[in-house]
Structure 1
Amino acid sequence: MTLSKILTFQIEKAIDALFGVTVEKIELQATRKEFEGDVTMVIFPLLKVIKGSNPAELGGKIGDYLVANTAEVEKFNVVGGFLNLVIADAYYINYFNEIKGDDNFAFPAPAENGKAVMVEFASPNTNKPLHLGHVRNVLLGYSVANIVEASGKKVYKTQVINDRGIHICKSMLAYEKFGHNETPETAGLKGDKLAGNYYVEFDKAYKKEISQLVESGLTEDEAKKKAPILLEAQDMLRKWEAGDAQVMELWNRMNGWVYKGFEETYANIGVSFDQNYYESNTYLLGKDVVADGLEKGVFEKDPDGSVWIDLTSDGLDRKIVLRSDGTSVYITQDIGTAIQRVKDFPDVGGMVYTVGNEQDYHFKVLFLILKKLGYDWAQHLYHLSYGMVDLPSGKMKSREGTVVDADDLMAEMTATAKSISEELGKLEGYSDDEKGKLYETIGLGALKYQMLRVDPKKRILFDPNESIDFNGDSGPFIQMSYVRTRAILRKADFDLDRAITTVPLHAKEKDLIKQVELFAAVVQNAAQLYSPAIIANYAYDLAKEFSSYYQVVSILGEEDFDTKVFRVQLSKKVGETIKAAFGLLGINMPERM
Structure 2
Amino acid sequence: MVAWHLYGNGETPQTSKLKGDALVGKYYVIFDKIYKKEVQTLIDEGVDEENAKKQAPIFQKAVAWLQKWEDNDPDIIQLWKTMNSWVYKGFEETYQKLGVDFHKLYYESETYLLGKEVIEKGLEKGILYKKNDGSVWVDLSNEGLDEKLLLRADGTSVYITQDLGTALKRVEDFPDITSMIYTVGNEQDYHFKVLFLILKKLGYSWSNSFFHLSYGMVDLPDGKMKSREGTVVDADTLIDEMEDTARKISEEAGKTTNLPEEGKKSLYHTIGMGALKFFILKVDPQKRILFNPKESIDFNGNTGPFIQYTYARIKSLLSKAHTDNLVFERYTNATAKEKELIKQIEKLKPAVMHAADSLNPGIVANYVYDLVKLYNSYYQSTPILNTQDEDTKKFRLLLSKKVGDIIKYTLALLGITAPEQM
Q: How high is the TM-score relative to the length of structure 2? A: 0.92
SS of the residue corresponding to residue 201 of structure 1 reads: helix
CA apart distance, 1:550: 0.9
TM superposition shift of 1:365:
2.8
Q: 1:380 matched to which residue of 2?
A: 209
Q: Residue in 2 aligned with 1:498?
A: 327
**Are 1:283 and 2:112 counterparts?**
yes
2:309 is aligned to 480
Separation (CA, whole Å) in 1 of partners of 2:54 and 2:143: 37
Which residue of structure 2 aligns with residue 346 of structure 1? 175
- In structure 2, the partner of 1:183 is 12
Counterpart residue number, 1:518? 347
Q: Could you say if the C-alpha distance between residues 324 and 174 of structure 1 is closer, same or farther in structure 2, counting changes exceeding 3 Å?
A: closer
Matched, 1:440 2:269: yes
Q: Which residue of 1 aligns with 2:420?
A: 591
Deviation at 1:279, TM superposition (A): 1.0
**CA 1:550 to 1:496, structure 2 compared with 1: closer, same or farther past 3 Å?**
farther
The one-letter code matched in structure 2 to 1:487 is S
1:551 equivalent in structure 2: 380
- Matched to 1:537, the amino acid is N
Task: Give 1:233 deviation, angstroms.
Answer: 2.1
Q: Which has the higher strand share?
A: 1
Matched AA of 2:268: Y
**Residues 204 and 348 (structure 1), Cα distance of their counterparts in 2 relative to 1, 3 Å cut:** same
Judging changes above 3 Å, is the alpha-carbon distance between structure 1 residues 314 and 409 closer, same or farther for their aligned structure 2 residues?
same
Partner Cα distance (2:124, 2:406) in 1 = 55
544-553 vs 440-449, which moves further: 544-553
Q: Which runs of 5+ in 2 are unaligned?
A: none
Cα root mean square deviation, aligned: 2.4
Check 1:376–1:521 CA distance in 2 against 1; reply closer, same or farther (3 A cut): farther
The aligned residue for residue 56 of structure 2 is: 227
The Cα of 1:346 is off from its aligned counterpart by 2.3
CA distance in 1, matches of 2:391, 2:13: 62
Larger-Rg structure: 1
Query: Deviation at 1:273?
Result: 0.5
Total equivalences in the alignment = 421
Which amino acid counterpart does residue 83 of structure 2 have in structure 1?
M
In structure 1, what is the equivalent of residue 230 of structure 2? 401
Partner of 1:402: helix, strand, or coil?
Answer: coil
> In the alignment, which residue of structure 2 is the partner of 1:197?
26
Q: What are the Cα deviations for residues 427-458 of structure 1, in whole angstroms up to 9, with x where unaligned?
A: 23422220001111001100000111110000
Instruction: Name the counterpart of 1:532.
Output: 361
The equivalent residue for 2:281 is 452
CA contact (8 A) 2:184 2:215 kept: yes
What does the per-residue CA deviation read over 1:19-57, in whole Å, with 9 as the maximum and x for residues that have no partner?
Answer: xxxxxxxxxxxxxxxxxxxxxxxxxxxxxxxxxxxxxxx
8 Å CA contact 1:503, 1:563 repeated in 2? no
| Cα 1:179/1:450, change in 2 over 3 Å | same
**What is the DSSP-based 3-state SS (H/G/I as helix, E as strand, rest coil) of the residue aligned with 1:283?**
helix
Which among 387, 404, 414 is matched to residue 575 of structure 1? 404
One-letter amino acid of the structure 2 residue matched with residue 196 of structure 1: G
1:574, distance to aligned residue in structure 2 (A): 0.4
2:196 counterpart residue number: 367
Q: Structure 1 residues 554-563 or 211-220, which shifts more?
A: 211-220
Rounded to whole Å, the distance in 2 between the matches of 1:313 and 1:451 is: 38
Letter in 1 for 2:307: I
Separation (CA, whole Å) in 1 of partners of 2:190 and 2:12: 40
**Partner in structure 2 of residue 26 of structure 1:** none
Answer whether contact 2:180 2:211 (CA < 8 A) is retained: yes
Q: Deviations over 1:273-321 (max 9, x none)?
A: 0111111111122333344455666x15468576655545544445555
SS of match in other structure, 2:106 = strand
For 1:94-173, list aligned pairs within 5 A: 172-173=1-2
Partner of residue 241 from structure 1, selected from 70, 78, 102 = 70
Q: Distance in 2 between matches of 1:285 and 1:296?
A: 17
Distance 1:454 1:185 in 2: 40
Q: Which moved more, 1:407-416 or 1:553-562?
A: 553-562
The answer on 1:336 being equivalent to 2:165 is yes
Q: Give the match for residue 92 of structure 1.
A: none
In 2, the alpha carbon distance for the partners of 1:462 and 1:288 equals 43
- Between 391-400 and 439-448, report the one with greater CA deviation: 391-400
Equivalent residues of 1:496, 1:565 under 8 A apart: no
The DSSP-based 3-state class of the residue aligned with 2:72 is coil
Q: Which residue of 2 aligns with 1:174?
A: 3
Between the aligned partners of 1:557 and 1:213, the Cα distance in structure 2 is 81
- SS of alignment partner, residue 382 of structure 1: strand
Give 3-state SS (helix, strand or coil) of 2:212's partner: strand
Q: CA deviation at 1:554?
A: 1.4
**Conserved in 1, the CA contact under 8 Å of 2:243 and 2:268?**
yes
Which structure shows the bigger proportion of residues in helix conformation?
2
Aligned to 2:87: 258
Partner secondary structure for residue 562 of structure 1: helix
- The answer (yes or no) to whether the contact 1:481–1:547 under 8 Å persists in 2 is yes
Per the TM alignment, residue 204 of structure 1 is displaced from its structure 2 partner at its CA by 3.2
Question: What's 1:468 paired with?
Answer: 297
Gaps of 5+ in 1: 1-171
Aligned partners of 2:278, 2:264: CA distance in 1, in Å?
21
Tell whether the 8 Å contact from 2:131 to 2:137 is kept in structure 1 after alignment.
Answer: no
- Change over 3 Å in CA distance of 1:444–1:565 after alignment to 2: same
Describe the SS at the equivalent of 2:105.
strand
Q: Show CA shifts across 1:149-178 (max 9, x none).
A: xxxxxxxxxxxxxxxxxxxxxxx1221122
C-alpha distance in structure 2 between counterparts of 1:182 and 1:373, whole Å: 46
Please say if 1:430 is aligned against 2:259: yes
Q: CA deviation at 1:538?
A: 0.9
Offset at residue 198 of structure 1 (A): 1.6
Of 307-316 and 528-537, more deviation after overlay is shown by 307-316
In 1: Cα distance, 2:245 partner to 2:389 partner: 43
Relative distance call for 1:378 and 1:591 in structure 2 (3 A) is: same
1:560 matched to 2:389? The reply is yes
Q: 2:252 and 2:335 mapped to 1: Cα distance?
A: 36
Residue 337 of structure 1 aligns to which amino acid in structure 2?
T
AA partner of residue 381 (structure 2):
V
Provide the identity percentage: 59
* Alignment check: 8 A CA contact 2:189 2:214 kept: yes
Q: Distance in 2 between matches of 1:481 and 1:320?
A: 53
Give the number of the structure with larger relative contact order, counting CA–CA contacts within 8 Å between residues 6 or more apart.
Answer: 1
Separation in 1 of the partners of 2:135 and 2:22? 40
